[in-house]
Structure 1
Amino acid sequence: MNLRSLLVFVCTIGLSLHQSFGQITEAPRVEEQSAEYVKIKRVELTDKYTVIYLQFADKGTQPGFSLPPELQDGYFPKNKPDAGSIWLDPDTRLFKPGEINVKFKLIRAENIPTEHTKKVSPGEKVDFVAYFERLSPGIEVFDFYEGRSKPGTTSWNFYGIHIKNPAKKALNKANVTTKTPVPAKKALPAKKETVVPEKPDAVKKEEEEMIVMVKGTVYNARTKEPVSARISYVEKGDTLQVSSSSGNYRIGIDAKEKYELRVAAKGYYGTGAEITALDSAGKINLTKDFYLIPLAVGETISLPNIYFETSQFTLLPESAAELNQLVQMMKNNPEIGIRIEGHTDNVGDADKNIELSRKRAQSVKEFLTKKGIDEKRIEAKGYGATRPLVKSGSEEERRKNRRVEFVITEI
């Protein structure tokens, strides 16, 4: 065998081994992740497993490194340098994005516990490996989903992991030279009525706990550029938060529950939205983008969830969430001054409408001052029906004109 033939032979053997043991992706690209201090170093696809090599790196191990805000305070209590702990949830799954039912279970983990926690010291690095069921050929982007973070903890979720995992090539029918004779079909006996057995309890539980992925981007409403933001929501009495430096976020929610998302970003007025799985019209993933208005002099910001008694200026309890957000913005930005503006539709006496809108604006001001905001920072003014958003024709259009806004007058 000459040298050239030997090289061809060796390459052929190497290629066959590579195909047999699967694909390896070093430092795969990850679109979004919930914890900066854990990274995926490598993904290896074998005949049986999807093997993910990860590294936990405690704060202080690299320049500019910091834990997320929810873990910075008290993560390592004073005088207890070994008080930090890590573990991998045994219910961690790999998902094909957009197809929550295409999932791959965790089989085992090495160098990290799944049934209890492992203590780590400040500055420590931990390399660990997670073995999952083999990803189906052709899935070259997947999500690593450990779960929803609980107070005091952060789940390690990675979204949009890009790997090499090509689909199997179809057989070349042109190379088939012989045909196997097809035996004659025999008459089949009449079908008997079959009884569908009840689903196992494990399957029922999995369906009851089905998670729907909510994703989206937080934008600057003026420039349409993504902004770093924090998304918070309440689940079973616990307030949970997700921070995103890129503006992109993903949250796993219970398919049967209703959630109120609140979005905040430094230098912007926050907003919120009610989310339920039913909003997806049967789709697995929900997409919800948010647009935040920057805090700048002259900006007019609507307060859509403020309610009054009919034809009165008494605030209803349903207004509390919106008003408390305004209070928090004023406390976080003590240099800001605002003008509360009340507006009505054009039904009724014009002078009475102006007076009603002024009193409603004044009611909002009084709410803020009772919460500790200096009244010198707040002006209240009523415009009645003189500044409509739309022509007051239908009831829906009149409802849009009945509103409360605030204008930033100084900053």
Structure 2
Amino acid sequence: MPYIVKSMRKRYLIFLFLAGLTSSCMFGSYPSGYPSGGGQQYPSGSQQSPDDTYPNTSNQPSSSRPADPGVTVNSIRLTRDYTIVNLTYTDNAKPRYDRNGRPTSTGTIGFDPAGYLVGANGARTFAFVKAEGIPLKKEQIDPATGRKVLVGRNTFPGDVVTFTLYFERLDKGLENFDLFECNTDQYVCWNIYNLYVNNPADQVVYAPQTTPTPTPSKPLPTKKPMTLPQTSGESGGEMETPKPETPKAKPTPAPVPVPTLIAVSGVVSDAKNKRPVTATIDYQLSSSKQAIDSVQSFASTGAYRMSLVKGQVYTYIASARGYQSSSGVLDLSKLAGGQKLTRDITLTPLAVGDKVTLKNIYFEMSKSDLLSASYAELDQLVSMMQGNPNMTIRLEGHTDIIGDHDKNLQLSRDRVIACQRYLVQKGLDIDRIQTIGYGDTRPILTKGTDDERKVNRRVEFAILTI
């Protein structure tokens, strides 16, 4: 009997150990990229104006996936200036009590003002503007312990907190997007994937091809009545030829509106010697998944020019043989007709041994699942390797120095394999893409806050041949 009890106790201890390993948080799980949203910032005290004419509300779609199970998406609304996300957080932790039997806080919540929305498969980001109902997240040193603690709102088991976040407005036509905020697994994370809002695009009308109008011919002379000789048995007389029927006039088609075009031009040059570069610039609407068209820069001057429809937002990728591809945004939504936009592009030459950080690669928290927000950055790499068919690379994964070493090592390996898989699905030969995970062994920073150390969580590629 004692042997049975001892055996059951041993199995129970092993179960607790394995459960602890499974539930422990992996660090280095925040997206390896950390872009900052650009554009106009709105004062935190600004109010919604009465002519906000886009009050579309979207209930939480079944496909949205909050990183923290206690987070619920209540609604998403668009106004003229903002993308407004309403969330609810429920503290589901077990109650805790101090020595006197009084309940103690089980967590602290706040929103990091560096959070942002990302859409167009990672090509567009939209900055955080303000929050209502939740404090902004910040860290400070606890004088009693000397440790860094989060300053925000303390929550107790069963607490329900509903709050609203304001971001820059999504481009028209962008309906699927993600919210990224979390830099650590220590606090509640507001990362939410696969969000959706009804946001139809303005119709883009292109000028129709003009067909030359035919010159009207001179009218034929009117035939005179034909006189026939009278014959026996017939009443005789004059017989006129039947008059042709006048054709009915076709309804005039409604005129097709001619779009207002804006001239976009610039020069593509070498980032090191400033010489002109012959490059191909593929561009598309930010809300589109397919490239609209492309232009080439002149070999002698590097100059390019294209005419784009006013009121739209475009993304582009500039690529040239022997250079790293470069991407950007052309926002024509606020330009007046007849205005011109100048956008110069510099391309960095490739060299064997160079290492490049992929700044906009996103994974689910503590997982190797590649998110769609990573596609724009990886597509840029695909374009570069297609333009340099002899180029081979090695993808290298890195995590932060916090957390279990072996788990970090495996996580970094799994993540670069996920990137390799995407590149192969896009048509690249797997033999051109090596992978290696370094885990936490090659950090950029070993000290500082978690926000400062986020540079450690990254995916890089090294150029092996070109």
What is the TM-score normalised by the length of structure 2? Answer: 0.39
What is the TM-score normalised by the length of structure 1? Answer: 0.44
Higher helix share: 1
Larger relative contact order (C-alpha < 8 A, sep ≥ 6)?
Answer: 2
Radius of gyration: which is bigger?
Answer: 2
